[in-house]
């Protein structure tokens, strides 16, 4: 009778132990499945990764004063500064310390390896395509005079003997007339364009007839 009681007692304890083990395992599984911070050795499921990315996205979108609307982002208060911690006295809406990569505004990034007569450029779009290859960026384009000056202000040396777009000179007495070789479509001696002629470190431009060959000044 004693042996029977002893076996029964052992069975009860084993049952309790087994049940406790199941409970611990279940609790552990639940804890892992709700983790938001992962450490070495954790097994992470795709749903956990998706949940964490979703939480991150929500956190970013909830930053005060930033408004997400479709694919657009708006900052509704104050000014935005990039690469600087001071407060500009003029309080511009956007202040950037450094270069801005833009398809319409930039600084000198090099000259084309090939020289071109005015009509060999292929128009303004042809000049842009040449500069995209020259500088390896789709925002690259043919420099205008303003960008040459801005480049020099930032200590960027500009090569000499390069075509620069200036559109036209408002001087009807100028011979030949200067208007970017008719938008870089003509290679004739009675039309002109501007060429940056200064050694590195300062700027000077002079007109040249479109039958001359020069590299193209590219900005990014």
- Convert the pLDDT of each residue in 181-197 to its tens digit: 999 999 999 888 999 98
Is residue 218 a contact partner of residue 131, using CB atoms and an 8 Å limit?
A: yes
When pLDDT is cut at 50, 70 and 90, the band that residue 11 belongs to is very low
**What share of the chain has pLDDT > 90, as a percent?**
31
Q: Which residues of 72-98 are buried (b: 16+ CB within 10 A; e: fewer)?
A: eeeeeeeeeeeeeeeeeeeeeeebeee
163 vs 52, residue with greater confidence: 163
Predicted pLDDT of residue 52: 77
List, for residues 162-182, the tens digit of each pLDDT value: 999 987 655 555 566 668 999
* CA angle in degrees (0–180, nearest 5) for 111-197-158: 40
Predicted pLDDT of residue 34: 44
List, for residues 92-151, the tens digit of each pLDDT value: 777 877 777 776 688 999 999 999 999 999 999 999 999 999 999 999 999 998 899 889
**Residue 29: is its pLDDT beyond 80?**
no
């Amino acid at each position: 009778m004693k042996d029977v009681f002893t076996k029964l007692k052992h069975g009860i304890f084993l049952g309790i132990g087994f049940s406790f083990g199941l409970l611990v395992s279940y609790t552990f599984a639940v804890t892992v499945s709700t983790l938001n911070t992962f450490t070495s050795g954790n097994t992470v499921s795709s749903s956990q990764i998706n949940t964490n990315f979703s939480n991150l996205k929500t956190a970013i979108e909830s930053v005060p004063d930033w408004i997400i609307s479709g694919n657009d982002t708006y900052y509704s208060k104050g000014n935005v500064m990039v690469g600087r911690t001071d407060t500009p006295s003029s309080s511009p809406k956007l202040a950037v310390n450094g270069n801005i990569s833009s398809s319409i505004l930039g600084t000198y990034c090099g000259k084309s390896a090939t020289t071109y007569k005015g009509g060999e450029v292929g128009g303004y779009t042809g000049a842009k395509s040449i500069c995209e290859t020259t500088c390896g960026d789709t925002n690259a384009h043919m420099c205008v005079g303003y960008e040459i000056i801005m480049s020099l202000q930032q200590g960027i040396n500009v090569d000499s003997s390069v075509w620069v777009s200036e559109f036209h000179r408002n001087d009807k007495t100028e011979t030949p007339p200067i208007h970017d070789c008719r938008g870089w479509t003509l290679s004739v001696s009675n039309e002109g364009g501007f060429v940056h002629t200064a050694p590195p470190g300062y700027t000077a431009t002079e007109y040249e007839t479109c039958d001359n060959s020069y590299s193209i000044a590219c900005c990014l």
